[in-house]
Amino acid sequence: MESHGSQQPINQSQPNHTYPLTVAKKTLVFYLSSVVVLLLAIILGFSKTSFYKTQQLKYSFSSHPTYLQTLVGFLQPTPEPQITNAINPISLSSSCVLWMAPFLSGGGYSSESWSYILALHEHKKNPIFKVAIEHHGDEESIEFWEGLPKYTKNLALELHQTECRMNETIVICHSEPGAWYPPLFETFPCPPGAYQNFKSVIGRTMFETDRVNADHVKRCNQMDYVWVPTEFHVSTFIDSGVEPSKVVKIIQPIDVKFFDPLKYKPLDLSSLGTLVLGSTTQNLKLKKEFIFLSIFKWEYRKGWDVLLKSYLKEFSRVDGVALYLLTNPYHSDRDFGNKIVEFVEDTDIEKPVAGWAPVYVIDTHIAQIDLPRLYKAADAFVLPSRGEGWGRPLVEAMAMSLPVIATNWSGPTEYLSEENSYPLSVDRMSQVMEGPFKGHLWAEPSVDRLQVLMRHVMNNVEDAKDKGRQARMDMIRRFSPEIVAEIVTDHIENIIKKMS
């Protein structure tokens, strides 16, 4: 995970210090070099590039403007945020929750952290604490920020300026443990100072394998509590050595009002996807293609190889199907088309006489506000991953009433059932062969069973729709924002009362 923005710890000799949640002071050298680079970009005519926008994004999250922010503001003034007219009923509270997460990154932890913040803001109007946010963890993404709804941007700027006293603050470090203080890479440290200076410090994290690294176990045990999303994680964290009294299950919310199939018209996938294998059927002018959709970052864990094997072995060009893959690089380049072609050539998949069933890749950024329309354009969602912490695309698809096929192991076992989805069986467990989790175990989903399920979903449309309707009902009943906001609020308020 790449991050930047390493900061100096908060002055630990002043436990009652009131501080705005801003990026801490950088060195003069850093500022001057940034200014020089920015001025060069302007002189060379690149003031509208993503570099320029990213610099502006970083420094717009500051209550007290730095010299560089002032310069950027002068060059491209930013409109004042439109703060909600409703009086914040928690503004007079002294207790504070500082939620530190990759709010500007667009990754899994980013979307999860936003789901909590929005749930608390919209559904808990009278808690005994106020909320502040700070970006921490993954690298900022200007594309993600620009694609957020306007009300979310306004809320971000509002909560970023909330002021808290250190000894009255609960800090939530919402990221992988390597980013926690002291961080193993360059990032704003969480907590921003000594652990004991705060009322309480909570780590929010998850893993996609059968265990937790020994170093991460130590980091978890530094926390007062460790929030995990599922029963799967409760058991794997405790079995790995995290103190049982610290582990608390806090499920994820899904915004069922935002992801509501009745509100949207489908995106035109043909205008977004690039055909990388196969071709469409000639007579499809009279028949709509059955569209399978999958969303993932391009890494082995996500089981894209399993998906391609099953799809290409089961279907051919005349079946009237299409597979759309919305993906992005993960320590790799963006040449997904050639990667797919090379994979097919290197496997034993026999090309059908009628030709390959079409495979499309969407590697452009889809704004958050357009995601529901993307799901709306599909007939089924499929993700045969080897391990998931939670699987946000899965619950988003379920909230959109899509029939879902997903591996029945790790995080998704918290919400998959025979009634609301098509749980994919696991053939065996296998070792992770590389990376920081080398030697851990994860699932090998069944290629043969996935073929059967994909064919079944296509041939039994009404059964699939029934599962999709039940999936949305389950998302509303168990994971809607108001339900999860209550769970989070109760836990935080219990900490405050206990510490008081």
Q: How confident is the model at residue 125 (pLDDT cuts 50, 70, 90)?
A: confident
Mean pLDDT of 309-315: 98
Closest CA to 361 of 427, 467, 276: 276
Closest CA to 103 of 29, 45, 175: 175
Rounded to 10 deg, the angle between the 108-123 and 392-399 helix axes is 50
Specify the pLDDT at position 60: 55
Q: Is the pLDDT of residue 63 over 50?
A: no
Specify the pLDDT at position 28: 38
CB atoms within 10 A of CB 189: 22
53-67, 97-111, 210-224, 246-260: least confidently modelled range: 53-67
Which of residues 51 and 72 earns the better pLDDT score? Answer: 51
Specify the pLDDT at position 59: 54
pLDDT per residue as tens digits for the range 260-292: 999 999 999 989 999 999 987 655 555 789 999
Specify the pLDDT at position 449: 98
pLDDT per residue as tens digits for the range 194-223: 888 899 999 999 999 999 999 999 999 999
Residue 464 in tokens: 């699939």
For the entire predicted model, the pTM comes to: 0.83
56-60, 147-151, 170-174: least confidently modelled range: 56-60
Q: Is the pLDDT of residue 23 over 90?
A: no
CB-based burial, 37-75: b 16+ in 10 Å, e otherwise: ebeebeeeeebeeeebbbbbbbbbbbeeebebbebbeee
Specify the pLDDT at position 283: 53
Q: How confident is the model at residue 79 (pLDDT cuts 50, 70, 90)?
A: very low
Cα-to-chain-centroid distance, residue 267: 22
Specify the pLDDT at position 286: 53
Specify the pLDDT at position 194: 81
Average pLDDT of the chain, as a whole number: 84
Which of residues 116 and 25 earns the better pLDDT score? Answer: 116
Instruction: Sketch out the chain's domains with CATH numbers.
Output: 18-253+482-499 (3.40.50), 261-479 (3.40.50.2000)
End-to-end CA distance of the chain: give it in Å, rounded: 37
Closest CA to 114 of 171, 153, 164, 82: 153
Specify the pLDDT at position 334: 81
Mean pLDDT of 442-465: 98
Whether cis (ω within 30° of 0) applies to the bond prior to 191 is yes
74-83, 212-221, 277-286, 462-471: least confidently modelled range: 74-83
Mean pLDDT of 19-23: 40
Specify the pLDDT at position 86: 37
Specify the pLDDT at position 37: 40
Side-chain-side CA neighbours of 114 within 13 Å: the count stands at 22
Specify the pLDDT at position 208: 97
